[in-house]
Amino acid sequence: MQDSLANSVNPAVLVFDSGLGGLTVLREIAALRRDLKLVYAADDAVFPYGRLDDAALIGRVSAVMDDLIARYRPALVVIACNTASTLTLPVLRAKHTIPFVGTVPAIKPACARSKTKRISVLATPGTVKRDYTRELIREFAGGCEVDLVGSEWLAPLAEAYLRGEEVADGRIAREIAPAFIDRGSMTDTVVLACTHYPLLLEKLRKLAPWPVEWIDPAPAIARRVASLLPAPGSPVTEPTRAFFTSGKLPGSALAKALKSFGIEAAGEAV
């Protein structure tokens, strides 16, 4: 099936994640460019990506993306997922001619802002172990100490929170505690290197052992997207749609949450 998005004068931008985290990126793109026809796609059938091995993740993202691009013919794709971006971008770029904007740990700006010169990168276990992430540290950390903290549960907890489920503060506090280090110098900046984490930002601030600066790269990603597209045209009139590979339709709490991100319609399975 081919979607009518392709015929629109408003460029279509596909925002993709394993689950709901990419909404934090979609929100910034929508705020910056009201003329874009945004489509959100979540590969929730295999969420979380953080636990997949490299070969499985590359195969999965590549296959799902082939299908999404054929359906929606976007002008640009945002891989709003650090776990996927740090591994799959070269494969996707080799296969498709449209631009891909990825999300990767914001190590350079975090190190530049840190006064104590000690930052933590809070991410999924997948992102933490990537060569790509270690290369970013080698290239951009300068004299800054970078602690990599892989959290297995924070992304699923963020999903549960957005679905309106009870999430105990203690569970979140346990996941973020290793990011707070006082060893010669104290952590003063934490990179949110998983797009799910800004969904919990209020709680993260409240539960932090001491105040730190939380770096959410979403506004910078939105600016990068805008820079790759033609100058803004007239605002879109149709609502943003969301698609889920599981085929599950959102319950009432999630539908309400999606609405707060500008998503009026959740469509059929991808």
Contact residues toward ligand DGL (CB under 6 A) are: 17-19, 21, 47-50, 81-83, 124, 127, 155, 194-196
From the list 267, 193, 212, the residue with the least C-alpha distance to 38 is 267
Q: How far apart are CB 22 and ligand DGL at their closest, in Å?
A: 6
Closer CB to ligand DGL, 71 or 196, in the complex: 196
**Taking a C-beta distance cutoff of 8 angstroms, is the pair 47, 159 a contact?**
yes
Closer CB to ligand DGL, 124 or 189, in the complex: 124
Q: Where do the DSSP E strands lie in 135-248?
A: 145-150, 182-183, 185-186, 189-192, 213-215, 240-244
Instruction: For the chain, report the end-to-end CA distance as a whole number of angstroms.
Output: 11
Q: How far apart are CB 124 and ligand DGL at their closest, in Å?
A: 4
Q: What is the dihedral of CA 229, 215, 193, 267, to 10 degrees?
A: -50
Is 111 among the residues known to form the active site? no
14, 57, 80, 81: which one is catalytic? 81
Q: How far apart are CB 73 and ligand DGL at their closest, in Å?
A: 24
Closer CB to ligand DGL, 10 or 24, in the complex: 24
From the list 59, 52, 15, the residue with the least C-alpha distance to 195 is 15
**Taking a C-beta distance cutoff of 8 angstroms, is the pair 172, 203 a contact?**
yes
Closer CB to ligand DGL, 37 or 196, in the complex: 196
Q: How far apart are CB 261 and ligand DGL at their closest, in Å?
A: 14
Q: How far apart are CB 179 and ligand DGL at their closest, in Å?
A: 15
Q: How far apart are CB 12 and ligand DGL at their closest, in Å?
A: 22
Alpha helix positions (H), 52-192: 54-72, 82-95, 107-113, 125-129, 131-140, 154-162, 169-176
Closer CB to ligand DGL, 34 or 153, in the complex: 153
- Measure the CA–CA gap between 49 and 176, rounded to whole angstroms: 19
157, 158, 194, 225: which one is catalytic? 194
Give the bridge partners for 12, in sequence order: 37
Closer CB to ligand DGL, 11 or 48, in the complex: 48
Task: Kindly state the tokens that stand for 270.
Answer: 């991808």
Going by C-beta distance under 8 Å and a sequence separation of 6 or more, which residues neighbour residue 51?
125, 126, 152
CA distances from 88 to 6, 108, 126, 177, 253 (A): 25, 21, 12, 30, 32
Q: Which residues are catalytic?
A: 81, 194
